[in-house]
Structure 1
Amino acid sequence: MCPKIQPRRRGLRIAVWSLVPVLVVAAGLLGVVLCQNTYDMDEQRVSIRHGGHTLNGVLATPKDGRKRHGLIVYVHGDGPISATHDDGYKPMWEANAKAGYASLSWDKPGVAGAPGNWLDQSMDDRADETAAAIAWARARPDIDGDRIGLWGASQAGWVLPKVAAKTPVSFVIAVSPAINWLRQGRYNLLAELRADGASAARTKAEIAKSDTTRRLLTRHATFEEYVTTMGGDPDGMTADRWNFISENYTADATQDLRALRGVPVMLTLADHDINVDTADTERVYRKVLDTGGALTVKRYPDATHSLLKQSIEQSGLKTTLTALFSPRSLFADGFLDGQHQFLTDLGRGTDATP
């Protein structure tokens, strides 16, 4: 005769078995996340010496069995960005690897334990840093020194041509680059006000505040003067950020872009960019670089400044879920394929012997 099951034990068994479907689903979702965030390339941490300190980098290489690869050196946009951009670069690195190119990136100074402070850097400092990374890469036996190019986003638009003036590069992929720091700032201000549905009074007040900031920058005002002028409210501005802006606010890429004449350049622009006036950027790039036919312009109608799909970026939940379950789908349709095709076209005619 079977013993009676006590009510408490029976309830425990029911609870355990009711959890089984949940655990199965959770395991399945975890498997999807792991699969979708596994990329067809090899990654290794690297250290690059520059200016008495170390750049903490990541080198991603194709798994194609070849002994040497071309290389794309990544130049970050604004902000405290890590080598992988919190894994946001990895879908691009995978596309590069499929085209036979390695990818190199590093933590900005002060980010992820790296020495220094990225807010202490000028655009020339960033260009020197990138040129040092290229020199390091050229000394490696697994990198083809004749096939090293640059990828840069947003603020990198002021860095890329400076790098090309310091060291030869084979190509440049410029993503959402601005031309003039002050024009870009005013465009961004007005675009955000429009997006917020700001009243005429608020718009007038914000423009006046911006004009005051420009006057302070022009006369090299200190951070303390800025805070005092703003009535004691820095509104998120820090001393380091003020010094960074003071160092770089005169940046303008127009003249520097001449260093890219004759270099294959892919200019990538988004139609929903509220950070950069893409019409101004395209006009200047075409004026300076169109002669000789080395410029390719790609526009993505559903993309934001970061080249993510607008419908995804507008929702934090959508962005998080897509990053987890389908990270390659974050980007605007055709963006990854467009970069892959550009690289593939560059590679035609080169020696692909392992």
Structure 2
Amino acid sequence: MCPTTQFRRCGLGIAVWSLVSVLVVAAGLVGVVLWQHSYDMDEQRVSIRHGGHTLNGVLATPKDGRKRHGLVVYLHGDGPVDASHDDGYKPTWEANAKAGYASLSWDKPGVAGAPGDWLDQSMDDRANEAAAAIAWARARPDIDGDRIGLWGASQAGWVLPKVAAKTPVSFVIAVSPAINWLQQGRYNLLAELRADGASAARTKAEIARSDTTRRLLKRHAPFEEYTKAMRGDTDGMTADRWRFISKNYTADATQDLRALRGVPVMLTLAGHDINVDTADTERIYRKMLDAGGVLTVKRYPDAAHSLVKHSIEQSDLKTTLTALFSPRSLFADGFLDNQRQFLKEIG
């Protein structure tokens, strides 16, 4: 206990040591974050010319001393995604690097200062973009042009086989890929309604709203007509988004998957996927590709659509803290290791 005459001096000492303790803890936490976000690979910004525009990309390469590497080309899912998906791709890039593969990804048009607008793109436009990126990579002395494959998630399910039809690829990693746009949309609607515990009346109303949207799309109705039909309640739909959907709603990967016959494919499916009907996806992939004996199916019962652990994705706080202090732990157990092993077996 501090004597009365020394109280102020003693109190100051306690305050100083408390501050020192806080700073030490803070420094330790910063150190943990920096260490967890230090990946075993080199990254460089690259520029790829395509169609009179520039794709702003990132090339991540292994630190193994080799002069040439195979390459994994990344195809994004829906939304305004930058090259690293807000650093979310980096654990997978590191897994690729451990298998001796580089990774290439780029900002979607209109994202992070990139020219253009991704909402103006069709799935064919995206495939042409990827084919141009592969041609650029094959011209590099540090990339083995005979070992270039694709990694694509969700909406990229419509793009992956289109790319393979345009240029040879050595493998495909398909993560929660979609098959049919309209069927996926209906599946997602019903799954979300079930998750919300929606009443029968609400479910009926939402299905009717969805059916109206489909009829308008088939008639190539303008956004103004859609807005009128929805009585002004567009539920977040914008004119640009309506234009994007109108351009792509007929997408169906079923027949396009024939371009992947003979190509090693790893199909990755989540157990808690409310975006994609994984049973239907697996059925179609097996129907179209199993005969060639090159399809590998990996299921992750504890994963959500993004392959993040479902228990983590359910909480914004858990997601933020895990992404900050242990980003590799975001993903379902075995996901990163299986991707690395698949690439090592490809060679």
| Aligned partner of residue 291 in structure 2, secondary structure | coil
Shift of 1:178: 1.0
Q: Distance in 2 between matches of 1:36 and 1:253?
A: 38
Aligned to 1:115: 115
Q: Distance in 1 between matches of 2:10 and 2:226?
A: 70
Aligned to 1:336: 336
In the alignment of these two chains, the number of paired residues is 344
Shift of 1:292: 1.6
Aligned to 1:346: 346
Residue 192 of structure 2 corresponds to residue 192 of structure 1: yes
Q: Which amino acid aligns with 2:166?
A: K
Q: Which amino acid aligns with 1:346?
A: I
TM-score by length of 1: 0.95
Unaligned runs of 5+ in 1: 348-354
Shift of 1:323: 0.6
Q: Which amino acid aligns with 2:248?
A: N
Q: Distance in 1 between matches of 2:14 and 2:43?
A: 46
Equivalent runs, 1:32-181 vs 2, <5 Å: 32-181=32-181
1:41-61 Cα offsets, whole Å, 9 max, x none, are: 000000000000100000000
Equivalent runs, 1:162-311 vs 2, <5 Å: 162-311=162-311
Aligned to 1:351: none
1:246-270 Cα offsets, whole Å, 9 max, x none, are: 0000000001000000000000000
TM-score by length of 2: 0.97
Unaligned runs of 5+ in 2: none
Q: Distance in 2 between matches of 1:107 and 1:13?
A: 52
Aligned to 1:25: 25
| Aligned partner of residue 211 in structure 1, secondary structure | helix
Q: Distance in 2 between matches of 1:113 and 1:169?
A: 29
1:175-199 Cα offsets, whole Å, 9 max, x none, are: 0001100000000000000000000
Q: Distance in 1 between matches of 2:251 and 2:177?
A: 12
Q: Distance in 2 between matches of 1:271 and 1:342?
A: 20
Q: Distance in 2 between matches of 1:218 and 1:5?
A: 87
Q: Distance in 2 between matches of 1:42 and 1:209?
A: 49
1:292-335 Cα offsets, whole Å, 9 max, x none, are: 20111110110010001011000010011111111100000000
Runs of 4 or more, structure 1, over 3 Å off, are 4-14
Residue 49 of structure 2 corresponds to residue 16 of structure 1: no
Shift of 1:23: 0.8
Aligned to 1:350: none
Shift of 1:6: 8.8
Shift of 1:233: 1.8
Q: Distance in 1 between matches of 2:66 and 2:255?
A: 39
| Aligned partner of residue 290 in structure 1, secondary structure | helix
Shift of 1:18: 1.5
Q: Distance in 2 between matches of 1:57 and 1:84?
A: 9
Greater mean alpha carbon deviation, residues 244-253 or residues 11-20:
11-20
